[in-house]
Chains A and B, each alone.
Chain A
């Protein structure tokens, strides 16, 4: 089973709204990721959680706030977004066993976000 699930599939929000994106995996993976993908562009890394701790923040604006409540769940809280934040937001997870020299990331289906 290499399934990563994301909810909602689609989200439309205004610039003053607060919303959250959710990601879940039950593969026992200990690393989880948020990516942003604009149309016709490759995914760009936003955040990485390793063992439920934030390990990488790629200089993402504070209007995006990640949270990892436990090893299976990853949230992305959104507040005061701009229209240019409209994109496909992808979650991924990887095994990240200690001693592994490489680590394959498996992606969820994404949430297509539109900011009006």
Chain B
């Protein structure tokens, strides 16, 4: 059975800290791995990763994929209270099927 596992499930840090969120996966027909940020409603797209070892960056966020070890990490540096959200990892398994992890609930305290 395909699965995507995120850790930790919950994380509380202080503003300014750096955090690393983890996502490991086992799927039979891997196409890509995506990271989303979900605050109140819609998951908003952060990154799509298809190749190992190539870091994607957007401001204070960055992510990298290891297709040999079947995991990805999402880093957030100099965290701000606005980074508080649930971070979802999803793997595109075959055409159009996204398998989501349980999410990491990140809380940034001032």
**Which residues of chain A have a CB within 8 Å of any CB of chain B?**
2, 4, 31, 33, 41-45, 48, 50, 55-56, 88, 90, 94, 96, 101-110
Contact = CB atoms under 8 A, between A and B. Distances in A.
A59 B108 CA distance: 39
Given A41-B102, A42-B101, A42-B102, A104 B45 contact: yes
B92 A90 contact: no
Contact of A109 (B34, B41, B48): B41
B98 A45 contact: yes
List the 3 closest A-B pairs by CB distance, nearest first. Answer: A42-B100, A102-B32, A107-B42
Nearest to B88: A42
19 contacts: A2-B45, A31-B96, A42-B90, A42-B102, A43-B43, A43-B88, A43-B100, A48-B97, A50-B96, A56-B96, A56-B97, A90-B42, A102-B48, A104-B34, A104-B45, A105-B45, A107-B42, A107-B45, A109-B42
**Secondary structure call for the B interface:** strand
Most B C-beta atoms less than 10 A away, residue of A31, A55, A94, A102: A102
Interface residues of B, number: 22
Interface string B68-104: 0000000000000000000010101001111011110
Interface of B: 31-32, 34, 36, 41-45, 48, 50, 88, 90, 92, 95-98, 100-103
A105 B31 contact: no
A112 to B, nearest CB: 8
Contacts of A96: 96
Contacts of B48: 102, 104
B44 A107 contact: yes
Contacts of A31: 96
